[in-house]
Structure 1
Amino acid sequence: MKLKKLFLFGLIAVLMLTSVACSQGTNDTQATSKDGVTKIKIANYFAEDHPQNVALREKFKKIVEEKTNGKVVVEIYPSNQLGDEAQFTNGVRNGTVEMAITGMGLQTANPKIGAVEWPFLFESYDHARKALNGEVGDEIETEFRKLGVEPLAWTVNGFRVISANRPIKSMDDFKGFRLRMPNIPIFVNTGKALGANVQPLPLSEVFTALEQKVIDGQENPYATLKASGFYEVQKYVLESNHMFSPNVYLMNKKLFDSFDKETQQIIKEAAQESANYEWELLLKSEEDVKKFLKEKGLEIIVPDAQFKEQMVKAMDPVYQDLYKQYDWAKAFVEKVRNSK
């Protein structure tokens, strides 16, 4: 009888250990099949023909699959196929999505991540690229890692412009203007500082809201304005360039750390090459997009020096609040402005 009890206790202990091991395996972020192939799902909110997805297909996917001899397979899910930005970004954090190209939405968890999108911070594309690929980018990448994601490369979404159903040619034209912005404090505060009536909405809902005249306009880079079809329900564009929006390749950190050093290097180099290609594509396409929009009947309004200065000046209270709120803010802004 004692032998039977000991056997039963031993069997139960083995089953419990096996159950724990299986449970741990389920939480493992590296989804490797029986043949040793790892699939990396990449989520993003861009249209399939956006430079971000073109670069992913032509560079990142190709390089990773070729250089790992097919041991890592890349699957691309554009246009919010794996949920909206908040959903798939959180998916990368918890390991349900291996990778994403995302904006600075994680600033809701770590405000410093969003500092690169503060209003009128960068003066040009060259300025932004140099800063992000230098000390400024390194500082933000450290903050990403604290949230369980590995930043692989910086890409460009672009300077943000305002599309509208009526012309905006002065600060007075912002009064009563229902402007969609992402539901992120710095965006909302920037829109309010301009004098607009800010309406936070997910990107996936913007077209319908514009079409049904729930909002008067939205703000995004030119490439998104075209790729998302907003030009079909807008008549004007104010080239405000009020914020610069970068994007970043993020991978679940546990997954990245689980790869051997050689595979990590392949992934990082592929991401950087893909990112470089995306910068080229987007910058080359911006003038084509402007031409396209004009052909579709949209009027592009370039603010004169006085109007631009007034918009910049309107941000003073926003920055003063940021400096009061974060003890690192002033030094960070100075670092960005000295990185030209």
Structure 2
Amino acid sequence: MRAVVFAVIVALVTFGQPTFARDIISSDIYPSSYPTVRATAYMGDLIRERSGGRLILSNLGAGDRESENYTLGQLRNGTLDMARLNINTLNSAVPATIVPTLPYIFRSVAHEREVLDGPVGEEILASLEATGVVGLCFYDGGAKSIYGNRPIRSPADLRGLRYRVQPSAHWAPMLRALGAQPVPMPQARVEAAMRAGVIDLADGSWSSFVALQHHSVAKNFSLTEHSRPPSVLLFSKRIWDTLSPEDRAILKTAARDSVALYRQLSDEHEAAARREAEAAGVMTVSDIDYDGFAAALVPYYATAVSDPRLKAMIERIKGEAGR
């Protein structure tokens, strides 16, 4: 009888669950309610289901807010499996990632999504492997606008103001040309720096503005919508190379399948964040001199991008049909 019971237990262990489960650790700077984190959690549900429980995704929660460059280093050396990063973090290492961050490169949300889902998006993702990461998919991040304690309506309004830029950003020369003073700074330090008067301005989407509590100190949100830099879901190439072709396919397909949910959540989150900010006393500045900003910023493409292949990519993006 004891032998029969033992045999049943062995059968349950062997056939009732996978003999080995691979725990995939993911990171994001945002809290669990943020669309990017919810989308990767959904991806986790997909990979668990499609792998029969062999692949399990665990989120670290809010990652290193001080430096996404540090998180990128963790991916490269294989101490972290997966992370969602702002694409600006990769600008220095992968020049192709500069292209989707250029001012007014995308005409609308629809245009951006069409480009990211198409051949240009695939080309940019493929270029990431040379720097030690595998690009799984893009999460388009909403239009970035300028915020601070004074309204910004035209390029002239930037003169003399201290403007926070991401440490790896290529925007600093452009801002200097407009008369602003770029201040490289991790995103997590913006609120304290603005309170202390170290910086006058920063930029971001409605969602990041509220999620990072910047609306508690910046009371003017100027709808310049000057850039639509996507974020990108990355996997460590060191870890990727140890996975079977089947598991790689599961991960890549699940990531792509999470994009539709992300976009739905992101659109809802942007609208809700705007309502929350305005209810907290933030003034939305909508009378923007868009032609003036475009005239000042678009010529910057020639300075930011010198590679003929990337210049051709810009022209391909301009030719996409989205409006």
In the superposition, the TM-score normalised over structure 2's length comes to 0.88
Kindly indicate whether residue 179 of structure 2 is the aligned counterpart of residue 195 of structure 1.
yes
Question: Which residue of 2 is the match for residue 120 of structure 1?
Answer: 104
- Please, which runs of 5 or more residues in structure 1 have no aligned partner? 1-34
Question: Which residue of 2 is the match for residue 96 of structure 1?
Answer: 79
Same amino acid, percent of matched pairs: 25
SS at match of 2:135: strand
Question: Which residue of 2 is the match for residue 312 of structure 1?
Answer: 294
SS at match of 1:76: strand
Which stretch has the larger CA shift, 311-320 or 183-192?
Answer: 183-192
- Does the Cα contact within 8 Å between 2:154 and 2:293 map onto a contact in 1? no
Kindly indicate whether residue 118 of structure 2 is the aligned counterpart of residue 137 of structure 1.
no
SS at match of 1:146: helix
| AA aligned opposite 1:41 | I
Cα gap change, 1:153 to 1:198, in 2 (>3 Å):
same
- Per-residue CA deviation, residues 68-116 of structure 1 (Å, 9 max, x unaligned), is 2322221112322486210111211221111111122122112122211
Question: Which residue of 1 is the match for residue 14 of structure 2?
Answer: none
| Distance in 2 separating the partners of 1:62 and 1:189 | 43
- Per-residue CA deviation, residues 120-161 of structure 1 (Å, 9 max, x unaligned), is 100111101110110111111121011121111111211101
Q: Compare CA radii of gyration and give the structure with the larger one.
A: 1
| Distance in 2 separating the partners of 1:151 and 1:66 | 22
Which residue of 54, 71, 76 maps to 2:38? 54
- Please, which runs of 5 or more residues in structure 2 have no aligned partner? 1-18
- Does the Cα contact within 8 Å between 2:155 and 2:296 map onto a contact in 1? no
Kindly indicate whether residue 312 of structure 2 is the aligned counterpart of residue 321 of structure 1.
no
| Distance in 1 separating the partners of 2:51 and 2:261 | 21
Cα deviation, residue 317, structure 1: 4.3
Aligned-residue Cα RMSD (Å) equals: 1.9
- Does the Cα contact within 8 Å between 2:65 and 2:187 map onto a contact in 1? no
| Distance in 2 separating the partners of 1:219 and 1:78 | 24
- Does the Cα contact within 8 Å between 2:77 and 2:238 map onto a contact in 1? no
Question: Which residue of 2 is the match for residue 28 of structure 1?
Answer: none
Cα gap change, 1:195 to 1:103, in 2 (>3 Å):
same
Question: Which residue of 2 is the match for residue 292 of structure 1?
Answer: 276
SS at match of 2:226: coil
| Distance in 1 separating the partners of 2:211 and 2:151 | 22
Cα deviation, residue 202, structure 1: 0.6
In the superposition, the TM-score normalised over structure 1's length comes to 0.84
- Per-residue CA deviation, residues 201-247 of structure 1 (Å, 9 max, x unaligned), is 01121121122221112101111001011000011001111111101
- Per-residue CA deviation, residues 147-181 of structure 1 (Å, 9 max, x unaligned), is 12111111121110111111222332211221111
What is the count of residue pairs matched by the alignment? Answer: 303
Question: Which residue of 1 is the match for residue 320 of structure 2?
Answer: 339
- Does the Cα contact within 8 Å between 1:194 and 1:311 map onto a contact in 2? no
Q: Any residues of structure 2 matched to 1:1-340 within 5 Å, and which?
A: 36-57=20-41, 59-81=42-64, 84-104=67-87, 105-304=89-288, 307-323=289-305, 325-340=306-321
| AA aligned opposite 2:62 | S
